[in-house]
C-alpha cells in the first residue's frame, strides 16, 4: 500500500494530509531506551505475532509505538511498571485482562491491555491482536 509522508514531521500515514499531531518520529530503540529489557521484549512479542500475519508499519514516537496496517490497530506504550497495549477491536471485550476505554465509541472499540512480560502475549492476546490486525484493513 502506498503511504503518505508528512513533510513537517516525516511520519507515514495511510492517507494524504491525514489529520495527526505533528510530532517528530523516532526509532523503536529510542522509545524503549532506558527502560527494562522486558518492556522491549513485550513489544517484540506483540510485533512478532502481528508480523506473522502480514506487513505492519511501526510509527515510533517518544510515548510509544503506533502499529498500523491500513489504519492504526495498536499502540504500545512503555510505562513505569508495565507496557500498555491499546488495541482497536471491532467489538467490546471485557474481562480481567482487557478493558474497553470508557470513551471509545464507533465501529472500532479501543481497549487497554497492560502487560509486564513477554509471556503475557499468550493465545488470548494473540487472538485479540489477530482480530485487530484484520479489522485494520480497508
Model confidence, pTM: 0.83
Question: What is the mean pLDDT of the segment spanning 49-57?
Answer: 95
Q: Mean pLDDT in the chain?
A: 88
The predicted-structure confidence for 71-81, as pLDDT tens digits, reads as follows: 889 999 999 99
Does position 113 have pLDDT exceeding 60, yes or no? yes
Top-confidence residue, 28 or 94: 28
Question: What is the mean pLDDT of the segment spanning 102-127?
Answer: 93
Burial 15-37 (b: 16+ CB within 10 A, else e): eeeeeeeeeebeebeebbeeeee
Q: How confident is the model at residue 94 (pLDDT cuts 50, 70, 90)?
A: confident
Does position 6 have pLDDT exceeding 60, yes or no? yes
- pLDDT at residue 31 in the model: 93
The residues near 29 (Cβ < 8 Å, ≥ 6 apart) are none
Q: How confident is the model at residue 120 (pLDDT cuts 50, 70, 90)?
A: very high
Amino acid at each position: 500500500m502506498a503511504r503518505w509522508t508528512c513533510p513537517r514531521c516525516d511520519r507515514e500515514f495511510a492517507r494524504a494530509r491525514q489529520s495527526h499531531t505533528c510530532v517528530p518520529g523516532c526509532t523503536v530503540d529510542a522509545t524503549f531506551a532506558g527502560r527494562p529489557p522486558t518492556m522491549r521484549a513485550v513489544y517484540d512479542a506483540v510485533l512478532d505475532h502481528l508480523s506473522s500475519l502480514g506487513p505492519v508499519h511501526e510509527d515510533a514516537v517518544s510515548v510509544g509505538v503506533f502499529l498500523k496496517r491500513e489504519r492504526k490497530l495498536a499502540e504500545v506504550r512503555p510505562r513505569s511498571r508495565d507496557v500498555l497495549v491499546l488495541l482497536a477491536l471491532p467489538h467490546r471485550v471485557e474481562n480481567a485482562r482487557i478493558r474497553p476505554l470508557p470513551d471509545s465509541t464507533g465501529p472500532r472499540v479501543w481497549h487497554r491491555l497492560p502487560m509486564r512480560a513477554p509471556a503475557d502475549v499468550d493465545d488470548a492476546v494473540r487472538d485479540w491482536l489477530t482480530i485487530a490486525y484484520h479489522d485494520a484493513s480497508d
